[in-house]
């Protein structure tokens, strides 16, 4: 097994939660457990395949929990794990910065809309 080397801490963070979709998934799971279909509705531009892949990677990293209910039809919910909850401050800061950035773009006259302001 090759030793993994990170030059700075943010590299280790991005190795786990980096990419286009993972932070968005995590922000949506911050306050409640959600089913796959609910996540898909909240993140309409993600494909089902990508959502499934990202959820699996986050689960493998211990960031989210997957709870399977023994019923028909099958029900699966995802939530932040206890370890994933430690990302709460980081996720909140990302949301706040994004809201401020949208406000700045709007002030500059750009046509941009922020649908949800609650992270």
CB crowding 107-116: b at 16 or more within 10 Å, else e = eeeeeeeeee
Is residue 119 within 8 Å of 91, Cβ to Cβ?
Answer: yes
User: So what's the pLDDT on residue 73?
Assistant: 86
Residue spans of the chain under pLDDT 50: none
Q: What is the pLDDT of residue 45?
A: 95
| Amino acid 110: pLDDT | 92
The pLDDT value recorded for residue 91 is 92
pTM: 0.89
């Amino acid at each position: 097994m090759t030793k993994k080397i990170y030059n700075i801490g943010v590299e280790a963070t991005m190795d786990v939660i980096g990419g286009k979709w993972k932070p968005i998934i995590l922000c949506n799971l911050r306050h409640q457990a959600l089913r796959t279909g609910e996540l898909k509705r909240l993140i309409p531009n993600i494909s089902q395949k990508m959502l499934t892949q990202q959820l699996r990677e986050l689960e493998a990293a211990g960031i989210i929990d997957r709870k399977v209910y023994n019923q028909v039809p099958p029900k699966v919910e995802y939530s932040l794990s206890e370890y994933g909850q430690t990302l709460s401050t980081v996720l909140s800061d990302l949301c706040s910065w994004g809201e401020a950035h949208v406000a700045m773009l709007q002030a500059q006259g750009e046509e941009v809309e922020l649908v949800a302001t609650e992270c």
